[in-house]
């Protein structure tokens, strides 16, 4: 019975709180006495019963004061949480040991006190004692390698006195990637030199110095190859390319050529991709039935890393 109720409530949360942002107001805030508040109610009821049985007005007055204090705590707790907003700012995919994270912007037009962020993938809830105006908060998620749905964040406050729990949710239907941790690979890097008739495998590379052309700079390209002379004249970032560069200095990374367990081979592939990208080398990528032709740059690297997550 409890499991069914839990599933129904989870479905209700997904339906009502699925968005990239949530504004805390009367129809998105939930409030109940906390564990301490429940004990507080129990003590006040006990005082009330003792006061009636022994006709002790002092105990009755204490019981009434305790109930009044709890009602005040409920009102102040709601007022503290109300009119605030949480918005998704960025999804930061990363390697498992980095780890991946989600950046949230928490905004309040007043001082928001005793604010906590909870998520199943957080090692422990993030507690923020006080928020004024806007705070950017990174939430590092401990995830296994793969593509993950970010899912449900829970925001909680126990202000004031810890007697009440005021909370709300934000359900993110977006994905985040946890890339394999790079594992240094002592095996040879398989390079190939494309010809008209065949793909000739080679473990060496040719050094070609003949200038070919200037191409516009793209994210992920080596800054050492920028033509600063042209930048000084035209304020345009252009990168030098050389004859034969793509054919002679291209690496090929193939999952089938590596040794080890599945996770070790994926980590080795990850290391090779990062090393090739750092050296600004063209590289082809093959992982089972997934294959990418030789290229370089941030977009090419991300395609390779995401393929490693999906494998």
Range(s) within the chain of domains with CATH label 2.60.40.3770: 11-178
Partnered with residue 140 across adjacent β-strands are 101
pLDDT digits (tens, 9 = 90+) for 2-25: 678 778 878 888 899 999 999 999
Q: How confident is the model at residue 242 (pLDDT cuts 50, 70, 90)?
A: low
Q: Which single residue is written with the structure tokens 């594992």? A: 183
In percent, how much of the chain has pLDDT > 90? 64
Instruction: Please state the pTM of the whole predicted model.
Output: 0.79
Q: Does domain 11-178 have CATH number 2.60.40.3770?
A: yes
Q: Which single residue is written with the structure tokens 């009102």? A: 75
Torsion angle in degrees (nearest 10) through CA of 236, 242, 247, 251: -70
Whether 173 has a pLDDT exceeding 80, the answer reads yes
3-state SS, one letter per residue, for 25-76: CCCCCEEEECHHHHHHHHHHHHHHHHHHHCCCHHHHHHHHHHHHHHHHHHHH
* Peptide bond just before 73 cis, omega within 30 deg: no
Partnered with residue 18 across adjacent β-strands are 171
Q: In terms of DSSP bridges, do strands 282-287 and 250-254 run parallel, antiparallel, or are they unpaired?
A: parallel
């Amino acid at each position: 019975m409890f499991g069914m109720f839990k599933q129904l409530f989870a479905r209700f949360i997904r339906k009502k709180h699925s968005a990239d942002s949530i504004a805390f107001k009367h129809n998105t805030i939930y409030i109940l006495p906390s564990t301490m508040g429940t004990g507080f109610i129990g003590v006040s009821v006990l005082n009330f019963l003792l006061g009636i049985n022994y006709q002790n007005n002092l105990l009755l007055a204490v019981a009434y004061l305790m109930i009044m204090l709890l009602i005040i705590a409920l009102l102040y707790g709601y007022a503290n949480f109300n009119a605030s907003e949480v918005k998704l700012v960025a999804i930061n995919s990363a390697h498992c040991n980095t780890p991946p994270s989600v950046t949230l912007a928490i905004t309040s037009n007043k001082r928001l006190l005793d604010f906590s962020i909870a998520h199943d993938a957080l090692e422990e809830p993030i507690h923020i004692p006080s928020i004024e105006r806007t705070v950017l908060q990174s939430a590092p998620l401990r995830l296994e390698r793969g593509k993950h749905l970010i899912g449900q964040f829970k925001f909680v406050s126990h202000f004031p006195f810890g007697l009440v729990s005021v909370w709300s949710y934000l359900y993110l239907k977006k994905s985040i990637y946890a890339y394999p941790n790079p594992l240094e690979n002592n095996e040879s890097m398989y390079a190939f030199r494309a010809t008209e008739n065949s793909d000739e495998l080679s473990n060496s590379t040719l050094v070609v110095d003949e200038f070919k052309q200037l191409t516009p700079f793209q994210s992920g390209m080596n800054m050492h190859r920028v033509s600063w002379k042209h930048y000084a004249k035209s304020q345009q970032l252009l990168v030098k390319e050389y004859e034969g560069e793509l054919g002679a200095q291209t690496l090929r990374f193939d999952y089938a050529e590596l040794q080890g367990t599945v996770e070790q081979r994926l980590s080795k592939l990850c290391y090779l991709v990062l090393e090739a990208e750092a050296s600004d080398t063209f590289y082809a990528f093959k992982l089972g039935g997934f294959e990418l032709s030789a290229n370089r740059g941030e977009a090419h690297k991300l395609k390779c890393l995401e393929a490693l997550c999906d494998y």
